[in-house]
């Protein structure tokens, strides 16, 4: 292990914006960068900065299925953001630093496996791209992602929903009150991966006390039991009391203490839109905590403006009930998984509609997962954009998992060839994680 405790990667993406006045803009990182320089954090011993590199398109293709194709949906900024997260991972895996924090944009945790456009400000899921990269490059298997963004990380959940080796934990503002309207306790993974998706929807107004109660009672014990090879913090900062897009009451100190307790190997910046009043201070606190330096003096310019922080016995009772649910389910997850697999039979099916709010696209998607007794199986999905000439924006794909047996490998390819013969879709693809390739059929 090198003498450095923390590696930082910055990429503000000057040339990428959804629109000039959109909340997801370069100032999100520029104010943070100014604060870090003003406080001299980059001059502190043990903190080192890395320059991002560009990810290869193939890295993205091993996670996402783009319609009509990924190349037409991405910009260089997306490739640098993904490459910046991979750079941060390399620094940890090579033991040059103990931990790393990638402060990059565009964000990614709303990007699902299929990509038709932009949803929730996201096009590709940089953390998922990085996870598949480190698995192939460094041979790690079990990964935990703890999403602390105020919005449910529906994209990350979608990508790893069938993967028993990826533990996805998200605590967020209840989806009944905030975009994307998902992230409920019933969403716990498909049958063979049941219990490795853990959603903790918190009521509006949740405070430092509330999130730390959930962290201490649920998140940390489950992480300890799961024993991941790598812990990633999907570090959204819009739970802050000043964030204009949400309704929570968390402080910069609350975030710093969370980073201190979580001790993630990596953090990746996600949301957070209080550009001047929160992000510089929240990020400074996280950086100091991850570098194992004193963060206790990091406070907002006017902490008395936290009007959302109130004592609410009903909210506190809800949070305790939520933790009790998972403390009952987690020890029984393998038993419940076997039961669900038995009920589903050979295949588990799902159909749903997905809306791309930034692109105005409505997607219809069907999914079919092979529950193989000998391996992690394979899955197929059909996707189409609703509306005029929708066949031109449609695809059928099969994904061969990293430990698929020979029978499942053959069945996955046969499923794509059979779909192509029927001619219902425009594009046909086979995503092969064993051979690290995507085949267009």
Domains and CATH numbers, the chain: 6-330 (3.40.800.20), 345-440 (no CATH)
DSSP string, 151-195: S--HHHHHHTTT-TTEEEEEEEE-TTSSTT----TT----GGGTT
Three-class SS state of 236: coil
pLDDT at position 134 is 98
Q: Distance between CA atoms of 404 and 52, rounded to whole angstroms? A: 33
Instruction: Name 102's bridge partners.
Output: 9, 268
Show which residues are catalytic: 110
Residue 316 CA to chain centroid, in angstroms? 27
Which residues in the chain land under pLDDT 50? none
pLDDT at position 2 is 60
Q: Distance between CA atoms of 8 and 263, rounded to whole angstroms? A: 15
The residue behind tokens 């899921």 is 125
Three-class SS state of 383: strand
Q: What is the pTM of this model?
A: 0.95
pLDDT at position 366 is 98
pLDDT at position 136 is 96
pLDDT at position 197 is 98
Using one digit for the tens of pLDDT, what is the confidence trace for 323-370? Answer: 999 999 999 999 999 999 999 999 999 999 999 998 899 999 999 999
- In eight-state DSSP terms, residue 363 is E
DSSP string, 96-124: SEEEEEEEESS--TT--SEESS-BTTBSS
Q: Distance between CA atoms of 322 and 329, rounded to whole angstroms? A: 11
Using one digit for the tens of pLDDT, what is the confidence trace for 357-382? Answer: 988 999 999 999 999 999 999 999 99
């Amino acid at each position: 292990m090198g003498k450095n405790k923390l590696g930082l990667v910055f990429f503000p993406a000057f040339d990428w914006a959804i629109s000039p006045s959109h909340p997801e803009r370069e100032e999100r990182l520029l104010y943070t960068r100014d604060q870090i320089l003003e406080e001299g954090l980059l001059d502190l011993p043990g903190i080192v900065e890395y320059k991002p590199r560009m990810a290869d398109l193939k890295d993205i293709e091993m996670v996402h299925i783009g319609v009509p194709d990924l190349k037409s949906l991405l910009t260089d900024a997306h490739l640098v953001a993904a490459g910046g997260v991979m750079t941060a991972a390399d620094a940890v895996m090579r033991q040059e630093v103990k931990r790393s924090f990638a402060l990059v944009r565009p964000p990614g945790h709303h990007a699902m496996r299929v990509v038709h456009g932009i949803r929730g400000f996201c096009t590709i899921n940089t953390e998922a791209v990085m996870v598949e990269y480190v698995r192939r490059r460094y041979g790690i298997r079990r990964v935990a992602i703890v999403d602390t963004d105020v919005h449910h990380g529906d994209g990350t959940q979608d990508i790893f929903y069938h993967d028993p080796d990826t533990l996805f934990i998200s605590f967020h503002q209840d989806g009944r009150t905030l975009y994307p309207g998902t992230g409920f306790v019933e969403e716990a993974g498909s049958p063979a991966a049941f219990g490795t998706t853990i959603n903790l929807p918190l009521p509006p107004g949740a405070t430092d006390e509330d999130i730390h109660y959930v962290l201490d009672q649920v998140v940390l014990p489950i992480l300890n039991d799961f024993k991941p090879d790598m812990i990633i913090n999907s570090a959204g900062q819009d739970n802050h009391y000043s964030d204009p897009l949400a309704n929570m009451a968390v402080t910069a100190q609350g975030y710093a203490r969370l980073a201190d307790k979580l001790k993630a190997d990596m953090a990746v910046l996600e949301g957070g839109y209080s550009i001047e009043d929160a992000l510089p201070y929240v990020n400074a606190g996280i950086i100091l905590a991850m570098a194992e330096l004193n963060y206790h003096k990091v406070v907002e310019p006017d902490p008395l403006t936290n009007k959302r922080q109130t004592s609410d016995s009903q909210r506190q009772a809800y949070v305790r009930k939520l933790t009790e649910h998972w403390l009952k389910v987690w020890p029984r997850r393998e038993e419940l998984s076997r039961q669900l697999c038995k009920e589903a039979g050979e295949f588990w099916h799902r159909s749903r509609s997905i809306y791309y709010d930034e692109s105005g696209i409505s997607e219809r998607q069907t999914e079919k997962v092979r529950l193989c007794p000998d391996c992690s199986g394979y899955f197929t999905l059909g996707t189409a954009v609703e509306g005029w000439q929708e066949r031109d924006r449609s695809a059928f794909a099969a994904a061969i998992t990293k430990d698929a047996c020979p029978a499942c490998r053959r069945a996955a390819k046969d499923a794509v060839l059979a779909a192509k013969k029927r001619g219902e879709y425009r594009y046909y693809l086979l995503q092969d994680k064993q051979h690290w390739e995507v085949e267009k059929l």
